[in-house]
Structures are given as structure tokens and as C-alpha cells.
Structure 1
Amino acid sequence: INEKIKKGQAVVVTAEEVIDIARKKGVSQTVKEVDVVTTGTFGPMCSSGAYFNVGHTKPRIKLGGGKVYLNDVPVYTGLAAMDIFIGATALPEDDPKNKIYPGEFRYGGGHVIEELVAGRDVRLVATAYGTDCYPKRRLETWINIRDINEAVLFNVRNAYQNYNVAVNLSDRILYTYMGVLKPKLGNANFSSAGQLSPLLNDPYYKTIGIGTKIFLGGGVGYVAWHGTQHNPGVIRGDNGIPTRPAGTLAVIGDLKQMSARWLVGTSFLGYGCTLTVGVGVPIPILSEEILRYTLVTDEEILAPVVDYSDAYPWRKPDILGEVNYAELKSGKAKIQGQEVPTASLSSYPGAVEIASILKRWIQKGEFLLTEPVAPLPGAESGITFKPLEERPILE
């Protein structure tokens, strides 16, 4: 396939387009013609962040073990002298959070990442304890992504393979990471690109693995590992599609090559801050089996409906039923016998655009595929998502 890409001969289509092609031409003909299917998703992904090396000052300062803020947002300093990490959900220390309920959470780590990617100056303030080799104890300066050394996006859990549909059975408004949920089944929020979502087009991780080259935040990235909370052993339909939150990806890429169009600081009323991330993954069509997985439609993907007033916060396994993504995307879904308005936190038009951009990159020969160096753990791995069973600490 890469040889065909280099020669400009590869046939590349999106996961949306391939469905219609297979309907018209049949699976056996489509597998002969199509080389690559591109996928995409663009939604809030809280387990995202970035690490930087900001360079050494004169005299030198040891940020490691000190306190560092970027635009008043605290960053992690438990690394070497000038390496720092900022998480998407980090908040300024003077943010009132939910003391004034619901909190607005106007600015956090995700917004800092967006500003850096956009090329804006960001204020760095640091205090250090000082050593013989790093005598400087305070630093205040502007930094810009163009001037620092490494700037790397490293997201430990992105691109969830299916996810909950959030509803609220209580009699009060709930403010959650799934958005504002109105009382008594007043609305239902979901967050997936459905038939365009990367891992829903490769449900058994036949082609997506460690080392897979991807579209990440408008630039090029790689799958670094399976993501946190990777849970491949959940219930699946006959088509292999999980009907519960399942696989996840840990991804990494050069932040300097990315775009603020696809990395957007995001605020959730009453919940916190995050980063909306664009991810696109190419799937090489190596067999009829792999092609068939990419033909999945929104009607064939079921998501669990979860009550966020009780079942979710109290970690109960109960669901209120399952609905498919065609229903969810229609603007209403039948839940417990009533029609409920639906809305997506994930942008389907954004996912379509990402899959189309990746398609163009491959068609132009600017993006070659990589073979995974190791597979993602499947159900046979025995990996499951374990809860934290609290053990009292006795003084």
C-alpha cells in the first residue's frame, strides 16, 4: 500500500464513503479497489496534556521540585531541571471552582495548550529552592512555542471505543463532564463519532497498534500505547462492536506541528476544563475481514444509556437500555418509553473533516502508513478496567 501511496496510485476513502461504495459494488469488489479507509473523531478528551523543555536560564534555575505556572495554571515539575508537564484539566489556584455553583471554569490547562499551539506568548512564573549548580530561585518570563526546545502532546487516554449516553433521572439539573443534564430525562448527551470513530472501525485492533501513525491535533502523531482504562473485554455485538466503553489509545506527537483548529481549550459548566482533540487513524485494507469492520454504520453501533444522578456517581452497573448512533444523531432517542432530545459533545462535522484531511495527505503521498510494532491488548489479554477498592488508612 505504501508503494502505491508513493506513486500516487492508492485508493483512499473515508469510513463514511466506504459504506456507500460497498453498497453499490459489493464487498468482494470493494476490497480489490480500496487501499485505505480513514477515520476521525473530534471531541473533549480530558486525559490529554503536553510536556516541554523550556531551555536553561542564566544563571540556571531548577524547575524540578519547584512551582511553575503557565498563565497562572500550575504545571507538574517532578522531572528534571527544565522539563514540565501541563494537564488539560489543570486549573489556576485562585479559580473559585464550584464554590460558586455551578463554576464557570473559564481557563485551564487545555486553554494554555491551545494558546501555545496558536503561537501566542504564554507567561511562565516559577519559584525554586536553589542549589549550588542551579542558584536562581525565581523566574518570570514570556515563552513561545517557537522558542522552547521540545513541545510534545502526550495524551494518555484518547479516542474511546464507544461511550455512555448520559441522562439524568433526578429532579434537579446536573453539571457533568457529559455536559448539562436536565432533570427527569430532559435530555441525553453522547460523545462519539460513531461510524467514523477510529476504534469502532477496527473493533479487534487488527491494524491499529503501538506505532500506528495518525492525524493528531492537525499534525502527525503516533499511538504510543493502549490508553488508560483500556477495557477490551466488554460486551460486544455479533459484529464485534463493543456496546460499552472499551478500548482507548495513548497518543503522542510534536505540538509544534499541530493547529489550534484541532486542539481547543474547553470549559464545562459546573465540572471543569479540558481539551477538545482531533484524532484520525488510517486503516489499511489488508483483507475482506478488515474491510467489513469499516463498513459498520451508525444503526449498527449501540451505546449504553446511563443515569448520571445515581448509577454513574455510585459506580452501579445499571443501564437504562441501549440506543444506536443513528437515533442519537437524529436529535431524539427513545429512552424508557419517551422521546428524549439528544446532543453530541463530539463534533461529527469535525470528524468528517479530519478523515477527509487525512485522506488528502495520503493521496498526495505526504503520509505513509506504519505497521504496528506491537498490537493493542485484546480481550484475550485479560486486561480489565479495575475499580479502586478503598482500604482505610489507620493512624
Structure 2
Amino acid sequence: MAGASQTLRTIAEINERIKKGKAVVVNASEMTEIVRREGKAKAAREVDVVTTGTFSPMCSSGLFFNIGQSGPVIRASRIKLNNVPAYGGIAAVDGYIGATEPTEDDPLNKVYPGRFHYGGGHVIEDLVAGKSVHLKAESYVTDCYPRKVVERDITLADLPFAELLNPRNCYQNYNAAVNLTSRTIYTYMGPLKPDARNCNFATAGELSPLFNDPYLRTIGLGTRIFLGGGIGYVIGAGTQHNPKPQRNERGIPLTPSGTLMVKGDLKGMQERYLRGISFLGYGCSLSLGVGIPIPILDEELAWFTGVADSDILMPVKDYGHDYPNGIHKILAHAPFSELKSGEIKLDGKRVPTVPLTSHVMSLEVADKLKEWIQQGKFLLSEPVEPIPSR
């Protein structure tokens, strides 16, 4: 880990430079080259902000919404959107739909049990795309809520409130998955062929937000971010957040570690950066674009944002036997640069690798955020509460 260094600028000073159009903003891959070429001291003096980005499946995501009332009123205890169950046990006409909840009558489920292809993530994408979604809400009757059923087609514009609220996004590192059994298995990491004939992985590497600020020095409650093509905010640690993983000398965790809970107004998002997806034989999820700006306050942050793909080691785990049985064995650590190249070596065997994260879209997210900052449309925010990271 780099030692703490003298502050060169504050977030308030960076925001003033952004407002005047003078801020120097680069994406995380560009910063890697600058630090490699110029060193961390010069990079820290020259660069104000580094933008990061990822576009990856983020299963722990969902939408809080309110369907509104028209007389007679209802207490919607059971809600479905396009026949995908949502949680209605909140109050009146509030609901929450999770990205991985499948539709109850998916035709694939009838042919291949468990192999859903439409779910909550697709409903969220359809709403953002302006499509109509079929709403059905049911309830028992009370004196104050006399209506039993509401059924109609709605669009995002019809919802008085629609807030993407994701309990766990942006894993700081994650497993690369292989299957050591003799049969193909179907997982949230995608289909895995027998005898380790493929290795699936999910991260944006040197572009990934939490690899560029591994100790979350600049990321906490209130951090403004790019979320799904709109503006979002970090609201704390995500579920399964591990603040004290084993790390390498750059502070990069060697196991799944930091996560973020985030939120943003769905009505400000774009379908390009928010896609419902399906994993054959497993279920459905949501691929989401997230970008976080890292202010370069000192040399240490410049050094952290200079992280390269070769610095990132991902744990390779067996999803055929070990993972489903709660065995936390790590078969090897694979450099992300090798995973990204298309193959790794595992026990002397060449194993093809398959990314679940789109590098092209991750770079686009980082560059879109860079553009917003350069145009003065996006200012940085001070975290009001830190997220534990040591």
C-alpha cells in the first residue's frame, strides 16, 4: 500500500475548476498509462478527476415504485408487473420488484424447469424504454381500502415514484468460475462446461470503480455517481460488504470484498445502460452501467487510480462442487490481464475464458461520465459518512 501523502486539492476546489471548464479529467485506463509514463507525483499534479465505469450483471438490484391511487382506493398487498411478482408488503400502493424475480408463467419454465428468461430486470428495462407494462394489484378489503383489484397497463410516466434502489452493486473483486464436475452446470455466472472447459468472470478490471479507490477514501454516503445512464448516489455499504479482505501490495482485494448500496431516479435513466438479462438454466438478472468519479486529492489516490489489469488477481473457484456446498477453496488466482486475453492456465491446462462484463460498455460509461464532468454537467460530492474499508 502507498503511504499517505500531502493533499494537493480538495473536492470543492475541483468543483470550481469543473465549473470554469478547467478540470483535467481522464478515464481510468488513461490514468493507468499516465502513472506508468509520468509517475504518481506528476500524475497527481496534472489530473483532477479519474472516471471509472462498469457494465456488468448486478443481481442485487431492484425498483421501489408507487402505482398511485384512483378511487376506490386499494392496499396493494400482492403486485405483479408483466406477471413478475413484486413485493407489496410495504404500505398502500408502494412496491419493490427485484431484478432476479422471474415471471410466473415463463414458457421456458414449462419446457426447462428453472430456465427463466423474463423477470424483474426486464420489467425495469421495459419501463425505462417507455414500453407499457401490465399491472395487477390485489388485496383484502378494509374500511379504508375497499378495493380488491386494480388491473391496467402502465408506463414509467404513469408512476408517481420510481427509484432504482440496489442493495449490492459494484463488487470490488469477484470469483472467476469453473466447473470441475463431469456435467455442464447452469449458474448465475453462466453455463459452465465440465472438467473446467471454460472459466467465466465478471469485472471491468482497471476501469472498475472500487479497484481505483480500494480503501474507499472518496466513496461513501452521498457520493454522486453515474447510474444507469442517469444520476445516482451511493447510500452506504452493500449487503455482503467485507471491509477487511486479504489484499495485495496495491490494496487490491484477493477475494470478493467491497460492495455498494446505490439509488437513483429511474425516470432519468437510459435503456442503453440498463438491460434485463437471462442466464440459461439459472434465471434472470440486470446488467447495469455504474460510473464513479475519483477525485485526485493527493499522490496516493493517483497511485491507486494507476492500477493496471495485471495488478488485479481474481480468485478461481469450482462452482460444480465447492461453491454449492459452501466450500471456500480458491483453486488459483488469475491475473485479470490473462482472463481478458481469452484464456488462463489452470493446473497446467489452457482454459478459455468468458467475460460477463462488457469492456466496451464499461469504457463507454467511464467516457460518458468524463464528458459530463468536462461539460460542467456533473459535479463531485463529498461523502458525508465513510464506508468501512480497513
The reply to whether TM is greater than 0.5 is: yes
Tell me the equivalent position of 1:30.
Answer: 43
Deviation at 1:96, TM superposition (A): 6.8
Matches within 5 A, 1:40-119: 40-63=53-76, 66-95=77-106, 100-101=111-112, 103-119=114-130
Counterpart-to-counterpart distance in 2, 1:16 and 1:30? 13
- Identify unmatched segments of 5+ residues in structure 2: 1-13
Matches within 5 A, 1:243-258: 243-258=254-269
Tell me the equivalent position of 2:279.
Answer: 268
**1:111-166: per-residue Cα shift (whole Å, max 9, x none)?**
00000011111110121112112211111111111121110000000000010010
Deviation at 1:286, TM superposition (A): 0.2
Percent identical pairs in the alignment equals: 57
What SS does structure 2 have at the residue aligned with 1:222? strand
Tell me the equivalent position of 2:6.
Answer: none
Tell me the equivalent position of 2:199.
Answer: 188
What SS does structure 2 have at the residue aligned with 1:146? helix
Runs of at least 4 residues off by over 6 Å: 96-99
Tell me the equivalent position of 2:32.
Answer: 19
Question: What amino acid does structure 1 have at the position aligned with 2:140?
Answer: Y
Counterpart-to-counterpart distance in 1, 2:329 and 2:103? 36
Q: TM-score, normalization: structure 1?
A: 0.93
Counterpart-to-counterpart distance in 2, 1:156 and 1:347? 22
Tell me the equivalent position of 2:173.
Answer: 162
CA RMSD of the aligned region, Å? 1.2
Tell me which moved more, 274-283 or 18-27: 18-27
- Whether 1:341 aligns to 2:352 is yes
Counterpart-to-counterpart distance in 2, 1:233 and 1:98? 40
- Whether 1:289 aligns to 2:300 is yes
Question: What amino acid does structure 2 have at the position aligned with 1:50?
Answer: L
Tell me the equivalent position of 2:248.
Answer: 237
**1:185-206: per-residue Cα shift (whole Å, max 9, x none)?**
1000000001111001111111
Tell me the equivalent position of 2:8.
Answer: none
Question: What amino acid does structure 2 have at the position aligned with 1:2?
Answer: N
What SS does structure 2 have at the residue aligned with 1:116? helix
Tell me the equivalent position of 2:239.
Answer: 228
Deviation at 1:22, TM superposition (A): 2.1
Question: What amino acid does structure 1 have at the position aligned with 2:243?
Answer: P
Counterpart-to-counterpart distance in 2, 1:27 and 1:319? 33
Counterpart-to-counterpart distance in 2, 1:254 and 1:304? 35
Counterpart-to-counterpart distance in 2, 1:266 and 1:291? 35
Deviation at 1:72, TM superposition (A): 0.6
**More helix by percentage:** 2
* Alignment equivalent of 2:186, drawn from 153, 175, 184: 175
Counterpart-to-counterpart distance in 2, 1:153 and 1:19? 32
Deviation at 1:23, TM superposition (A): 2.5
Deviation at 1:100, TM superposition (A): 4.3
- Whether 1:219 aligns to 2:215 is no
Q: TM-score, normalization: structure 2?
A: 0.95
Tell me the equivalent position of 2:3.
Answer: none
**1:345-394: per-residue Cα shift (whole Å, max 9, x none)?**
01111110000000000000000000000111123xxxxxxxxxxxxxxx
What SS does structure 2 have at the residue aligned with 1:184? helix
